[in-house]
Amino acid sequence: MQASFNTKSLPEAFKRFSSQAFYFSVIPFFFLIFAAVFKPFHIDSLLNTAKASFSFNITMIMCIILLVMVASRMILYFTGAIRHLSMNWFRVWCLGEIVVSSFFVALYVSLIGDYGVQYLEILISCLAYLTLVLIFPYVFLELSFALSAAKSERFAATDGDSKMHFYDSNHNLKFVVTGENVLFIKADENYIIVNYKEGDKKKTYELRSSMKRIEDICAANGILRCHRSFFVNPKHIKALRKEKENNIVAELDSPDLAPIPVSKRYYEDLVRVL
């Protein structure tokens, strides 16, 4: 049961910081607009109190959801936890965000009005409200990122025959190379340096771009982020090893190339595909 729950890994499209930003931007504001326009489940009768108007209260609830979402997504991203979640555990995390938001929203609702009921009853009502409303943006975002991941997989389906097209910061095509021939890509201030093979020769190509700009094309060709300043092609990794002070490096299949640093944050992603 445990193995099956962890079977499907979380696609790369869900792991980016921009994806986390979408979650904590879209979901709270969806609640605000949806609640203000449609007033689902007679939520206006619950939140239109003597202490504050309905509009003020749903704005405060939106802020509560926003704070919970920002805290949750920052923890998920900056601790590296998102890189180790399966698709199912990611959904559990999303459900946890709704539950935590419900606790704080229920506390707020219990303070703004005298309903003559226990906090637990208010909590159950808030949990039902938020689950039924927020399920829509959660499903929409999951489908959007899943579609993005599927497109990346289709581009990668041609495997070694796929071409990587590199554009500079002005969106001008500068360099095309077969994905299989790329060894690693290194960041150098405002430039990236593509290290690749051409026959038996090792070559480099430098262009003005950023690591963030090439994330999608690298993911589509199976080239993984291994460090803040490096992407590496797992097909050319001969070994992963720990050096002094537990620093991890990737040793490539070309002896004349120096080992590539691997951050602990990306280590398990590499291990998974080797």
pLDDT in tens, the chain (274 residues): 444 555 567 887 888 888 999 999 999 999 999 988 888 777 766 776 657 788 899 999 999 999 999 999 999 988 888 878 888 999 999 999 999 999 999 999 888 877 677 889 889 989 999 999 999 999 999 999 888 777 665 655 444 457 888 888 777 889 999 989 999 999 998 899 999 998 888 999 999 988 888 988 888 888 999 999 999 999 999 999 888 778 899 999 888 889 999 998 888 888 888 7
Closest by alpha carbon to 160, among 224, 215, 235? 235
Q: Looking at the structure, do residues 204 and 239 belong to the same domain, yes or no?
A: yes
Are residue 184 and residue 136 in the same domain, yes or no? no
Instruction: Give the number of domains in the chain.
Output: 2
Residues 21 and 151 in one domain: yes
Q: Which of 156, 182, 209 is the last residue of a domain?
A: 156
149 and 220 fall within a common domain = no
Q: How many CA atoms lie within 13 A of 39 on its CB side?
A: 10
Name the H helices within the chain: 2-5, 17-38, 43-47, 54-78, 87-112, 119-156, 215-220, 264-273
33/45 Cα distance (integer angstroms): 17
Domain span including residue 264: 159-273
Does residue 136 sit in the same domain as residue 226? Answer: no
Looking at the whole model, is its pTM more than 0.85?
no
Of the candidates 248, 240, 180, 225, the residue with the CA atom closest to the CA atom of residue 80 = 225
